[in-house]
């Protein structure tokens, strides 16, 4: 008789435990997705800076700086896609090197990264340096 009473009181236990843990699981899933997208976008910005620096290093001696700037910006745009808002693309040349700095503002997808960074956008900055290749090498 006592066993039947105990069994009846435990019928909804699993459902209540699931209801308690579900918000935590959803929050973790959203964080994984949001940070995964953020790292994907960061890697795109880094790749775009590398490609821009490579192009600038090859064409630094044969192009004027205005033309080179617009060509590097076009290369950065084609490699990043349309995931964020381009802030700036800067080219600076040294004695034997050229540096391309790409800055993008990436929008956060969920409240998880917004609360982690304190803003709904994340500024991604990537700097890449390449040797300047002259026509005689």
Q: Yes or no: say if 68 and 60 are a contact pair by the CB < 8 Å rule.
A: yes
Query: Which phi and psi angles does 107 have, rounded to 5°?
Result: -80, 135
Q: Does the pLDDT value for residue 6 go beyond 60?
A: no
| DSSP-based three-state secondary structure for 127 | strand
Mean pLDDT, rounded, of the chain: 83
State the total domains in the chain.
1
Q: What is the pTM of this model?
A: 0.76
Asked which of 6-20, 84-98, 117-131 is least confident by mean pLDDT, the reply is 6-20
Q: What is the mean pLDDT of residues 92-110?
A: 86
Q: What is the mean pLDDT of residues 80-89?
A: 76
Please indicate, yes or no, if residue 136 is contained in any of the structural domains. Answer: no
Q: Yes or no: say if 104 and 123 are a contact pair by the CB < 8 Å rule.
A: yes
For residue 4, the model assigns a pLDDT of 58
Beta strands in 20-116 (DSSP E): 84-93, 97-107
Please indicate, yes or no, if residue 137 is contained in any of the structural domains. Answer: no
Please indicate, yes or no, if residue 20 is contained in any of the structural domains. Answer: yes
- For 119, the domain range is 2-131
Please indicate, yes or no, if residue 29 is contained in any of the structural domains. Answer: yes
Q: Does the pLDDT value for residue 137 go beyond 60?
A: no
Least Cα distance to 134 among 58, 65, 21 occurs for 58
Please indicate, yes or no, if residue 66 is contained in any of the structural domains. Answer: yes
């Amino acid at each position: 008789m006592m066993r039947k009473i105990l069994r009846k009181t435990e019928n909804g236990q699993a459902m209540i435990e699931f209801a308690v843990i579900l918000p935590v699981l959803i929050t973790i899933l959203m964080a994984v997705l949001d940070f995964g997208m953020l790292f994907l976008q960061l890697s795109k910005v880094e790749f775009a800076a590398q490609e821009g620096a490579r192009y600038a290093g090859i064409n630094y001696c044969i192009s004027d700086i205005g033309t080179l700037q617009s060509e590097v910006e076009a290369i950065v745009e084609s490699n990043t896609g349309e995931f964020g808002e381009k802030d700036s693309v800067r080219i600076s040349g040294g004695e034997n090197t050229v540096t391309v700095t790409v800055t993008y503002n990436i929008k956060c997808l969920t409240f998880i990264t917004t609360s982690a960074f304190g803003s709904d956008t994340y500024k991604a900055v990537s700097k890449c340096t390449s040797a300047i290749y002259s026509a005689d090498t």
